[in-house]
Amino acid sequence: MRITYSWLKDYIHFEENPFALADKLTNVGFEVEEIIPLVQPFRGVVVAKVEKVSKHPDADKLRVCKVSDGKESFQVICGAPNVAAGQYVPFAKVGAHLPGDFKIKKARIRGIESFGMICSKEELGLEKQSDGIWPFDEKYPLGADVYQLLAEKQDYIYDFFITPNRPDCLSAIGIAREIAAITGLPLRMPKVNLSSVVSNHSHPLPKVTIEDSDGCPRYSARIIRNVEIGPSPQWMQERLEACGIRPINNIVDITNYVLMEYGQPLHAFDLRQIKGGEIIVRSSRPNEKFITLDDKERILPESTVLICDRERAVAIGGIMGGQNSEVSSTTKDILLESAYFKPTRIAFSSKKLGLSSEASQRFERGVDPNGIMEASDRAAALMAELARGEIDQSVTDVYPVRIEPKSIRFRPERINRVLGSHIAEDKIVTLLEGLGLSIKGGFVTVPTFRVDLSQEIDLAEEVARLLNYANLPTHHSVQIRYDLEETSSDRLLAFLRDELIHLGLQEVFTNSMLKESEAELFQNGKNIRILNPISDDMTTMRPSLLPGLLKAVAYNVNRNMSDGRFFEIGRIFTNYQENELPQQPYALAVVITGRRYPESWNNPQEVVDFYDIKGYVENFLSKIFLDNFHFILYDKDSYMAKGETISIETGQHRIGLCGKISPEIVRFFDVNQDVYGFELNIDLLAGFLNQSRPYKPIARFPYSERDMALVVDQSVPAEEILSFIRRTGGKLLHFTDVFDVYEGDKIPAGKKSLAIRMRFQSMEKTLSDKEVDKIFHKIIKECGKQFQASLRK
Amino acid sequence: MLVKIEEIRKAFEKDISSVKDRASLEELRVKYLGRKGQISSAFTLMPQVPAEQRKSFGQGLNILKNRIEQQYQALKASFEETSRDTGRIDLSLPGRKGFVGRKHPLVAVADEIKDIFRGFGFTVEDGPEIETDFYNFEALNIPKTHPARDMQDTLYITEDVVLRTHTSPVQIRVMQRQKPPIRMIAPGRVYRRDTPDASHSPFFHQVEGLAVGKDVTFADLKGIIQAFAHRMFGKDINVRFRPSFFPFTEPSAEYDFSCVFCRGEGCRVCKHTGWMEISGAGMVHPNVFRAVGIDPEEYTGYAFGMGIDRIAMLKYGIDDIRLFFENDLRFLTQF
Ligand SMILES: [Zn+2]
């Protein structure tokens, strides 16, 4: 909301300069977002006298003028028709700097030199559009700096951010009331004396019937006759323009002026257009149509408050007037409405209509139901004064159930308890009374314009803000809290993250909203869709972290950063069920692509393959204390490549997949190189982590090593052989692994040779060769039977 | 004759300082330690030395010989060392490196915030990102007509299920689950229906703070925010509280930190005000306590919010929030 500094001075004689006042208002909760000077800075413009005006020899519309700043004379070309000898004018000399970054230079216009410019108000940034130059009304001293002259009368527009709980401060008087409360100075309301301007003729009262008393608890109407429609005075137009309201004519401007002054929206009807001179307030009927002031036909939402005459609707109550009854240049008599509408009803209709106005913004937040006559009187008085209207003596005011001021419990000690302060009771009372509240017997009576004060706690804020938050105590409590239990998985996530970082992976953050086509590729169940997405790119909640990671890969690979080691930890969204929140477990995912080692003079040039991602997952799982996990071949159709994917299992649960991302999927994401990855469900995983398992003792005796090369069918998985060896070898076999794999012409076709190393060790003694060989030969024999394996010679 | 020993010593010191390579070192050896070198020649003078000085002359000459021998050997060794190294590997070539893992900058900042508040005795809590209307709005005293509930601002899954617009619903969940005293923060991702630009992202990250107890006051709120500002940005950072309005707190405040770039002097970033708006805070509204079954007569509490992305932008001078989510390696590897 915009109000000028000088306007506030109409109601209260404060001393503060515009900047100090803005600070004070910000400190009590009315944030001044911007202070705009009315006079934009300019320089090099002086008061000059036009000495001689003659016609330009080569241009009909131009004149050649001689102007003097008291010391020197200048020749200047002027195109304005209103320039005349003898005028005192603002003269921009060569080198002057005007608003809008406009510099004055020496010029030659149609062959004649011009040294400067005689300025209009527009050129000095004082009005939007000027018809000609600006001859001063006064004879200012010649050569005086025009900006300095104007700056003495400088005014400032405050652009306030008014929080939605304070509709009373969407007005000049509302803000002035706050200044009164801060400064303790008296508030001087506008003097409205109707007794001298009411008409002596007796006229019938306008008839008002409220059918919808829920939507409209109070409606007043009065008539002002024989108004002279014309422009409103300059000072009123300037103030309205400063507020961002376009002046229209004196009657409309007066209703807008009083709106900005009191915060009470008013509406002026052309009485001639009100059929039967009668007002009926009712709710709209289904699919009722109405043409508003802005010439748009609108279908009204049901139960919109409508202002009607005997035959038809003439305004949407509290939102906008109708085209059929607006004040025009031929209007003679005015019916002036001042009413109170129920906030929720206005909010509902305004939102449904998609129509918001200065009036609706105030009504939907709440105006003062008991302040409407004051505003009506003020507007009527202005219409008499500025439009020569005659005010009918009587006013119709339909107000069946009076809205009474609220009473709130008042306990000063409660206020101090919340604020952690020790403010004396009489100080608190003074502060609250300064706001117009009255206190008696442990209760506070709140004037009806303060719609935000409804509970005891609200009084604490009033006291706090008037004292200034900065002046309230600040306390650093030192208290050990050992009794609070942390229930989130935050520490687990941090632990997992650290382990992933130790593996050399870069963390990324990706959008949890995906394009539907992207999400579908990774979805097992039903998509979780957004009802009102921002764009087609963000319609569906991610069912997996992999699409986001693939996008991160694409982004970098397409910018020639083709080696990627990425991971993300975040929520994924699965298992949507009607009327229940979807499951939103934490997941972690890793993708790798490009070279196996960073590009360097001494690193081999190799690209990653399946065994790289498997190595990552093995290292990771071994570090996070996951008990009893194993891998099985995963061969279903999915976003993972068939034949290069394993499932990570613990017990009966699959906690994730690991392997090559399907090449079609990778290409879908605009990546043209292989990508490997794995994804784990952390919520599932968490149940199998055993971070407090006891340590295993270390064997103190040397081990004996035996190697063998087993020739088996290519289809036999190595892991099957290794686990068979482990079972067969018993507890003295403490290590076994494959150290070489051979397939080729030195062994029969369809076979592979696995070189397996075994280490035997006892906790109690050094094993003899005999003991070791006994187990070793048993393993060879059993493997031979189990896998039709032979030893490679 | 002892003068003669001193002469040799001085000459040797001078000569050795100009030795640059193996050849000149060899010349030095021959000149002093060779069969016809200075030391040997000096020994041949022995018979001419008066008998009473002969012993000390011999001793002095031997000491000098040993010293020259030592210095010669040391220099020889150092020549051999250098020639071997420079001859075989180039130490200036880059070392053999693997890939380096890093946290996302927002995680680094969130970790810092969590560390600070855990140090103040807060726990870290969490809640779902897809929330019900009850937790995101109703329990927080946000009425049905409030503009925040508008489809223009909030992303809906169904009429009653939303993408949480703030981390405040975690307050409600924790208060339902736990009896006071409560002292917690809840970091996490939130969503708004904003079109992405330099200062808006449809998803971003917040930290919610909540303390509830029998004697938790507005003064404690001011204290905790000030303590946080000092730990996060330094002891010269001032904190300013301004009255504001949020449905779930009363009294409500906006809080500002003095500008972290100009330290309050005024600069372009803070539009010459010396202040940077951080976020909102206030005392928990009695209606919120009632919604979770806590008696507002018995307990009081404060709540505050802050933006992780915003704090990270201030900390690193980042002017475009989208950089956090583009995942450009040239950006991510700077942290
Ligand atoms: Zn600054």
Of residues A343, A552, A584, nearest to B130 (C-beta): A584
Question: Residue A507 is nearest to which of B107, B191, B251, comparing CB atoms?
Answer: B107
Handedness of CA A456, A460, A461, A463 (dihedral sign): positive
- Determine what percent of chain B is predicted with pLDDT higher than 70: 97
User: What average pLDDT is seen over chain A?
Assistant: 93
- B30 or A770, higher pLDDT: A770
Phi first, then psi, for residue A731 (nearest 5°) are: -80, -10
Nearest Cα residue in chain A from B114: A490
Chain B: residue whose CA lies nearest to A556? B328
Looking at beta carbons, which residues of chain B come within 8 Å of A555?
326-328
Domain ranges of chain B: 2-85, 106-332
Chain B: closest CA distance from residue A531 (Å) = 5
CA of B239 to the centre of ligand 1 (A): 14
Residue listed under structure tokens 């040239």: B330
Q: How far is A685 from chain B (nearest CA, A)?
A: 18
Q: Is there a contact between A347 and B145 if contact means CB atoms under 8 Å apart?
A: yes
- What is the structure's pLDDT at B84? 58
CA of B275 to the centre of ligand 1 (A): 7
CA–CA distances in Å: residue A539 to residues A390, A508, A552, B156: 62, 21, 19, 11
Tell me whether residues A465 and B243 touch, CB distance under 8 A.
yes
Neighbours of B148 (CB within 10 A): 16
Do A530 and B202 form a contact (C-beta atoms < 8 A)? no
List the single range of A28-32, A38-42, A451-455 with lowest mean pLDDT.
A38-42
CA gap A302, A322 in Å, rounded: 18
- Cβ distance of B242 and A483 shorter than 8 Å: no
Whether B202 and A534 have beta carbons less than 8 Å apart is answered as yes
DSSP per residue, B215-236? S--HHHHHHHHHHHHHHHH-TT
Q: In A366-435, which residue ranges form alpha helices assigned H by DSSP? A: 372-387, 412-419, 425-434
Q: How far is the CA of B325 from the centre of ligand 1 (A)?
A: 26
CB-based burial label for A330 (10 Å; 0-12, 13-18, 19+): exposed
Inter-chain CB proximity B219 and A475 less than 8 Å = yes
From chain A, pick out residues whose CB is under 8 angstroms from the CB of B132. Answer: 581
| pLDDT per position as a tens digit, B181-228 | 999 999 999 999 999 999 999 999 999 999 999 999 999 999 999 999
B114, B121, B223 member nearest A474 (Cβ)? B223
CA distance A283 to chain B (A): 20
Task: Judge: A477–B223 Cβ closer than 8 Å, yes or no.
Answer: yes
In the prediction, which pLDDT does B83 show?
59
Going by pLDDT thresholds of 50, 70 and 90, the confidence category of residue A273 is: very high
Question: How many A-B residue pairs are in contact by the CB < 8 A criterion?
Answer: 247
Query: What's the pLDDT tens digit per position in A83-128?
Result: 999 999 999 999 999 988 889 999 998 888 999 999 998 899 887 7
Q: Report the residue of chain A nearest B170, measured CA to CA.
A: A488
Please name the residues in contact with A72: beta carbons below 8 A apart, sequence gap of 6 or more: none
**pLDDT value of residue B9:** 85
Distance between A527 CA and the closest CA of chain B, angstroms: 11
Are B158 and A531 in contact (CB < 8 Å)? yes
3-class secondary-structure state, position B137: coil
Verify whether the Cβ–Cβ distance A474 to B219 is below 8 Å: yes
CA A556 to chain B, closest CA, distance in angstroms equals: 6
Looking at residue B185, its pLDDT comes to 97
Q: Note the pLDDT of residue A579.
A: 67
Residue A634: predicted pLDDT: 92
Q: Give the whole-angstrom CA distance, residue A292 versus residue A200.
A: 35
CATH class of B106-332: alpha beta
For residue B100, give how far its alpha carbon lies from the nearest alpha carbon of chain A (Å).
4
Contacts of B194 in chain A (CB under 8 A): 534
| pLDDT for A776 beyond 60 | yes
CA-nearest of A781, A734, A778 to A757 is A734
- Predicted structure pTM score: 0.83
> Residues A316-327: what's their mean pLDDT?
94
Mean of the pLDDT values across residues B162-180?
96
Residue with tokens 């709120």: B221
**SS3 (DSSP) at A333:** coil
A460: nearest CB among B131, B178, B251: B251
What CA–CA distance (Å, rounded) separates A235 from A250? 12
Cβ-contact B212, B303 below 8 angstroms: no
Mutate to test the interface with B, among A469, A492, A512 (most CBs of B within 10 A): A469
For the stretch A758-770, pLDDT in tens is 999 999 999 999 9
Of A500-509, A596-605, B33-42, least confident by mean pLDDT is: B33-42
For residue B283, give the chain A residue with the closest CA: A418
Name the more confident of A167 and B58: A167
Q: Is it the case that residue A57 has pLDDT exceeding 60? A: yes
Contact across the interface for B97 and A455, Cβ inside 8 Å: no
Nearest-Cα distance to chain B for A57, in Å, is 52
State how far residue B327 is from chain A, nearest Cα, in angstroms.
6
Question: pLDDT value at position B278?
Answer: 94
Whether residue A163 and residue B244 make contact (CB cut-off 8 A), yes or no, is yes
pLDDT tens for A3-26 read 999 999 999 999 999 999 999 999
Q: B166 vs chain A: nearest CA distance in angstroms?
A: 16
B102 to chain A: which residues are within 8 Å by CB?
A: 501, 506-507
Q: Please write the tens of the pLDDT for every residue from B271-298.
A: 888 999 999 999 999 999 999 999 999 9
Q: What is the mean pLDDT of residues A253-272?
A: 97
What pLDDT is attached to residue B107? 97
Q: Do B245 and A166 touch (CB under 8 A)?
A: yes
Is residue B86 very low, low, confident or very high in pLDDT (cuts 50, 70, 90)? Answer: low
Residue whose C-alpha is closest to residue A391's, from A340, A338, A336:
A336
Separation between Cα atoms, residue B276 and residue B259, nearest integer Å: 5
CA of B258 to the centre of ligand 1 (A): 8
Distances in whole angstroms, Cα of residue B145 to Cα of each of A368, B91, B227, B274: 20, 71, 37, 36
Confidence of residue B85 (pLDDT cuts 50, 70, 90): low
State how beta strands A790-791 and A88-98 pair.
unpaired
CA of A277 to the centre of ligand 1 (A): 62
Burial of A500 (C-beta count, 10 Å sphere; 0-12/13-18/19+): buried
Tokens 């050990």 correspond to: A480
Q: Report the amino acid identity of residue A390.
A: E
ipTM of the complex: 0.85
Segments in B34-140 forming alpha helices (H): 38-44, 51-88, 105-119, 133-136
The predicted model gives A694-703 an average pLDDT of 89
B145–A344 CB contact, under 8 Å:
yes
A199-234, pLDDT tens digit by residue?
777 788 889 999 999 999 999 999 999 999 999 998
pLDDT tier, A326 (very low <50, low <70, confident <90, very high otherwise): very high
Res A67 pLDDT > 90: yes
With contact defined as beta carbons under 8 Å apart, do A452 and A460 qualify?
Answer: no
Nearest CA in chain B to A476: B223
Q: Among partner residues A494, A508, A555, which is closest to B104 by beta-carbon distance?
A: A508
Q: How confident is the model at residue A162 (pLDDT cuts 50, 70, 90)?
A: very high
pLDDT at A480 over 80: no
**Contact residues on chain A for B222, CB-CB shorter than 8 A:** 469, 472-475
